[in-house]
Structure 1
Amino acid sequence: MITSEQREQLRGWFAGRLPDGLFEELAELTVDREEITVIGRIPGPRPAEGASAAEREAAVEGRIQEFRERTRDDRIAVARDAEHRFGRKVSWGVECEGRRALFTHVAAPVMTRLRQPERQVLDTLIAGGVARSRSDALAWCVRLVQRHTDDWLTELRESLEHVQRVRAQGPDGEPREDGSADGG
């Protein structure tokens, strides 16, 4: 977890370091131990008057793709400086006409690969004294899910056992002791 002052310094550094006009506005800047995610607002496209919803959505997708390609070199230069200064990887995203698109993510190993929002949950549990490490925090989350969804998990396990039985009866089922395939 970082302090409010550190978060403000990060936001200020990015506001000063981003090339003028890159974004209409720095919409969001989030940070954890591994990653800084920078999300900026970009201007929407101007589709023809009376354009359908599908046409407007395609125009937004096109605008996001155009922005990503056009600004790649600038974003790489800023990320390189930020990674050197703050010791964290930088991920980028945009908001355009209410749609959010993330270009890159860091998936940090914590017995599995988690994105920044999930890591922030674990870091909050650590900061709150609920867990000593991300591994402990993840185990705590699993226990909480187990406690509150026991019936659902039981049904899911039974379904998976059924899937395994059906799979074993198929043409690629496990071979029997006599060498033939178990499948009918």
Structure 2
Amino acid sequence: MGQHGQVAAWWHGRLPQEWFVAPAEVRVDRDEVVVVGTLAPPEGAAEEGPEATEAALGRISRFREETRDERIAIAREAEHRFGRKVAWGVACGPEERLFTHLSAPVMTRLRQPERIVLDTLVEAGVARSRADALAWCVRLVGEHADEWLGQLRAAMTDVQRLREQGPTV
């Protein structure tokens, strides 16, 4: 199991089961862990339209306030354990909201999904640095980048698995 898998496994074991209706999505890069859980939609709320949006926003707001102290304690524990900042988010009905989250300076401020792309290219040896990776991405502006990066990550996972199975030196 790679580091991402270990971080996600810890979160799945650590989060209170009653918070979310499904396992939380755990996104990891070298700077931050973003944990996004799905809340049950409010009973009797509309499924679409402005009423659904308002009901979902109300549920998100309630969750944020009611769990604040416990979320802070869990985040501090995780930050100490994994050496990364923690951000929280929730989805409810048609809405998803991220609470305070990291915007790390690279050459510009990038959110975690963009940093993960750059770090994947560096870790795979496609680029020497985040700066080179960003320049490569701008030149490519690939419509098929998601598919290619998925294949690259799968290959890196295979390489990591093979390293773990190999002889110890």
TM-score, normalising length: structure 2: 0.76
Tell me, yes or no, if the aligned pair for 1:35 and 1:90 is still in contact at 8 Å.
yes
| Counterpart pick for 2:106 among 97, 106, 110 | 110
- State the match for 1:19 in structure 2: 16
Greater Rg over alpha carbons, structure: 1
- State the match for 2:60 in structure 1: 64
* Distance 1:44-1:52 versus aligned 2 partners, 3 A rule: closer
> Which whole-Å deviations, capped at 9, do the CAs of 1:115-143 have from their partners, x for residues lacking one?
00000110121122221111111122233
| Counterpart pick for 2:36 among 33, 36, 39 | 39
Which structure carries more relative contact order (alpha carbon 8 Å, separation 6+)? Answer: 2
Tell me, yes or no, if the aligned pair for 1:38 and 1:93 is still in contact at 8 Å.
yes
Match for 1:83: what amino acid? E
- State the match for 1:175 in structure 2: none
Tell me, yes or no, if the aligned pair for 2:35 and 2:87 is still in contact at 8 Å.
yes
Residue 67 of structure 1, CA deviation? 0.7
> Which whole-Å deviations, capped at 9, do the CAs of 1:43-85 have from their partners, x for residues lacking one?
111235x787211211011111111111111110000000000
User: Aligned partners of 1:126, 1:11: CA distance in 2, in Å?
Assistant: 22
Residue 14 of structure 1, CA deviation? 1.1
- State the match for 1:173 in structure 2: none
Tell me, yes or no, if the aligned pair for 2:42 and 2:55 is still in contact at 8 Å.
yes
> SS where residue 26 of structure 1 aligns?
coil
Identity %: 60
Residue 35 of structure 1, CA deviation? 0.3
- State the match for 2:6 in structure 1: 9
- State the match for 1:144 in structure 2: 140
Unaligned runs of 5+ in 2: 142-169
User: Aligned partners of 1:72, 1:42: CA distance in 2, in Å?
Assistant: 15
- State the match for 1:181 in structure 2: none
User: Aligned partners of 1:51, 1:106: CA distance in 2, in Å?
Assistant: 32
Instruction: Please identify, of 124-133 and 27-36, the stretch whose mean Cα deviation from structure 2 is larger.
Output: 124-133
- State the match for 1:171 in structure 2: none
> Structure 1: which 4+ aligned runs deviate by more than 4 Å?
none
- State the match for 1:53 in structure 2: 49
Tell me, yes or no, if the aligned pair for 2:48 and 2:94 is still in contact at 8 Å.
no
- State the match for 1:179 in structure 2: none
- State the match for 1:75 in structure 2: 71
> Which whole-Å deviations, capped at 9, do the CAs of 1:19-59 have from their partners, x for residues lacking one?
341222223101000000101111111235x7872112110
User: Aligned partners of 1:118, 1:51: CA distance in 2, in Å?
Assistant: 31
Tell me, yes or no, if the aligned pair for 1:26 and 1:38 is still in contact at 8 Å.
no
* Distance 1:126-1:51 versus aligned 2 partners, 3 A rule: closer
